Chains A and B, each alone.
Chain A
Amino acid sequence: MVEAMEYRVLLKKDIRVWVEWLMGKGELHAPVAKSASHPQYQFEKISQPDTVCLDYATTILPPKQCVQPVRETLIRFDRVANQFTLSDQVPERRLHIIFGIHTCDIHAFNFLNTVMRDGNADTQFLARSANTAIIGLRCRQHCDDKSFCESMGTNEPPDTGYDILMTDIGDRYFLELATERAAKLVDDLSCIPHTGDEDVVKWRQMLADSKKNFDRRLSINIEELPAYCEANYHSPMWDVIGKKCVACGSCTLVCPTCYCFDIRDELDMSLQGGERYRVWDSCQLGEFAAVAGGVNFRRDRRDRQRHRVHRKVKYPKERYNLFACVGCGRCSRACIADIQMLDILRQLGAKSHEFQRT
């Protein structure tokens, strides 16, 4: 574990005071409850401090939309002057604060930042990412039966990628301040004092206790997943999944590490100019891999699902030595056809010897 720069504590009853104060520092996004019947949550821009809900199972959509909006203008064009202008390379925007995100989502942000820096850097994304403060929350148990963060090593925080990390230690939150920016996010607020020895003891005990709450749900060697994918390339398991999948695209849209987008043009009403924008896309949709001449190189849902899994646990592992699956379980929760990531990975591990490529 990397040592934090500084420790603080915050009584739970004072969380409202801090949230309200943070709202003055930047645009605050935090989990709020969305449904009365089942516990479902969403990251939203906070306007009422009381709506923030820190005791939450993971959100429907990941917090990536705070950094990459659903729709973003890339260029403005003028058909009469035959010119175009790039939209701002470094968007000027207020500091964004993502409050209360789970450690799996911090890992996911780190992955996105790695990818966006690679090759032709996505400067817009990176500028917004740098302008986003992360206040994370250590989890004390699995969100539900769909998550397998412990197996992917994401129930523990990464070494970097957050400013502050909170731990629920009973009547108060224990805060680990990890960056220069973190100090500005607590300032000298009287409700966030320095820790006493008792708090530190309690915090360490809580960390040790929490560990026991996470069971290993994926009993395979995850380092072998790229090889398992290779060995199961022709496995009939993909046919079964392809028959169930209805290609709604939800699994990728709710994934905290998916980043594919489509580019479209929109004319102004004058017809003289317009904008080219990007919008979230999904490899599960029929048109995603359609190219000129009516060719589609992933026409079958089976192939698209296999591609998705390979994009999570095979290709990024080979290229960046990182998994793009953080075990948050969102795809499994969102799937109306009950396709479960945990099942898929288990099958890959179990069947790896049966379907050797010939």
Chain B
Amino acid sequence: MKPKVAFFSFSSCEGCQLQALNLEDQLLSLLDIIEIVNFREAIDDKLENYDIAFVEGSISRYSDIPELIKIRNTAKVLVAFGSCSSQAGINAIRNRLRPEEANAMVYGDRAAWVETGHAKGIDEFVKVDYYLNGCPMDRREFIRLVKAAASGIPFIIPKLPVCTECKLRGNVCILEDRNTLCLGAVTLGGCNAICPAYGHPCVGCRGILPDANIEGMAELLRHHGASDLEIEHLYAMYNYGRISLLTARAASR
């Protein structure tokens, strides 16, 4: 029996679902090992029972929570799909404001029409079995996870920083070479350092490593000319949900 796979979406751009759809030349062979029963970016049909649930997006409304719990209770394996879901991601930038303030900024005098609050990662509400980090998630990791889940073996992402893969690609370090502020040293790798490889700094989309040296990183970024505000912004972009602004501020002193 092929495991049934479902995709669900909360506060997000649905870009991670699109990334799965972008696996054009591998989609057919994926369908040999799984059956997709719920995937609104690609199919209309929906089934209410499934084995593996990919949950995209962060939780930003109370009304989302029962839906998430239902998914958890149905799925044998629940995967946080992308950085919104794994760490509240870019949505959590609004968490620096009170929900009413953020609402008023976006919706003006119609703010009351919209239910929306602080963005949270899904593991604040339910148990998550696996994380596919990144904005968007990495397609090779997605395939690895599907293969592991379909054969009942654990899926492991080695806890190595982006710098490791960047070095192994033979890239010139953009922090050292161009003083471009980059979070590669403290961010979970697995993306094959795709941003620095094309000259764009790592902005931490795959999440800050659990044992990262936040103080040391702030110190060396300052040494490379960053202001405290720039360091805060760098961390806040994708990791506000995990590292409060206060921590980053205290760290950069």
Contacts and interface: CB of A to CB of B under 8 A. Distances in A.
Interface of A: 34-35, 37-38, 40, 42, 44, 60-61, 70, 79, 243-250, 253-254, 262, 264, 266-267, 269-271, 280, 282, 285-287, 299, 301, 334, 336-338
Interface stretch (B119-127, B165-173, B229-237): B165-173
A253 B167 contact: yes
Interface stretch (B45-53, B60-68, B105-113, B209-217): B209-217
B176 A336 contact: yes
A40 B172 contact: yes
A253 B162 CA distance: 13
B175 interface: yes
A154 B175 CA distance: 30
B104 interface: no
Interface string B131-151: 000000000000110011011
Contact of A285 (B29, B159, B177): B159
For this complex, into which size category does the number of interface residues on chain B fall? 35 or more
B184 to A, nearest CB: 7
B241 to A, nearest CB: 21
A337 B220 contact: yes
Contacts of A287: 158-160
A243 B177 contact: no
B147 A286 contact: no
A37 B168 contact: no
A250 B177 contact: no
Given A244-B216, A336-B176, 15 more contacts: A40-B177, A60-B170, A61-B170, A246-B220, A247-B161, A247-B185, A250-B164, A253-B168, A267-B153, A269-B32, A287-B160, A336-B173, A336-B175, A336-B224, A337-B219
Given A269-B26, A287-B158, A337 B167 contact: no
Given A35-B177, A244-B219, A266-B144, A334 B167 contact: yes
B36 interface: no
Contacts of B77: none
B248 interface: no
A181 B111 CA distance: 79
B177 A246 contact: no
A253 B167 CA distance: 7
A298 to B, nearest CB: 12
A334 B220 CA distance: 13
Given A248-B161, A249-B161, A266-B144, A38 B220 contact: no
A271 B33 contact: yes
Contact of A267 (B148, B216, B224): B148
